[in-house]
Amino acid sequence: MKLNLAILAAVISIQSAPAAIIFNVEAAGVQQTSYSGVLTETFNLLPAGSLGAYSSVIGDYSIGGQISNPNAWGGSNQTMYLAVGAQSNTTSYTIDFKRDLSFFGVYWAASDSQNELRFYNNNVLVQSFNVSAIMAPLSAPYNGNPNTGQNTSEKYAYVNFTTTGATLFDQVMFYNSRTSTGFETDNHSIYDIPRDNPGPTSETATPEPATMALVGAATTVLAIARRRFRKCES
């Protein structure tokens, strides 16, 4: 009986890993999300130059970004794109969304070690992603601008970020630690309406077992313990 109770206590004490954000990367050369039912800010209707506070279809952009003409470093399919760092002479800008989100997609171009994408909820950092976590493992077909073939020393990819468990976010920050390089992105996407997580088609990180699975295990152990205790009493 003591052994069963010890097992039960151990199972109950196990905690699943904190809910988090996982990501998957579209095929090399793809510059928009493959997920359906999304809203996308393309920046194609905005003039080149500093982006002031801007209310987009997906959320409210802060000052700090720079709308740039397509070049070797950015622009999906050779269109306008948004950058921070060398182009803007600033280190960050944010998007404040109009609701809690479980998905965000971004075309991440000309990635370098200064780039970092940060997710927040109620001004608390949920998770951040840098190039070493996302771009470094990608294979050679991701090298260089897929539209021009230029800048083969850096990787270009569309990345889908999806929350797990109860995790949500209401803001993202595009951060570049220095103004000597740029953080170039395009085609920022969110779901058109709130919905359950779709789950990426191929995950780069696997969530730990859900808490309910642990509860089920605990219930099973408890049932066994009760049967054996009754048997000892009889």
Domain locations along the chain? 1-16+209-234, 19-207
Dihedral pair phi/psi, residue 149, rounded to 5°? 80, 5
In this structure, which topology does domain 19-207 adopt according to CATH?
Jelly Rolls (2.60.120)
pTM over 0.85: no
Distances from the Cα of 7 to the Cαs of 46, 79, 210, 216, 222, in angstroms?
62, 60, 19, 13, 9
Q: What are the beta bridge partners of residue 25?
A: 159
Q: pLDDT tens digit string along 168-226?
A: 999 999 999 999 999 999 999 999 987 655 544 433 333 333 333 333 444 443 444 44
Q: pLDDT tens digit string along 131-152?
A: 999 999 999 999 999 999 999 9
Distance separating alpha carbons of residues 190 and 200, to the nearest angstrom: 14
32 within 8 A of 107, measured Cβ to Cβ? yes
Is the pLDDT at 8 greater than 80? The verdict is no
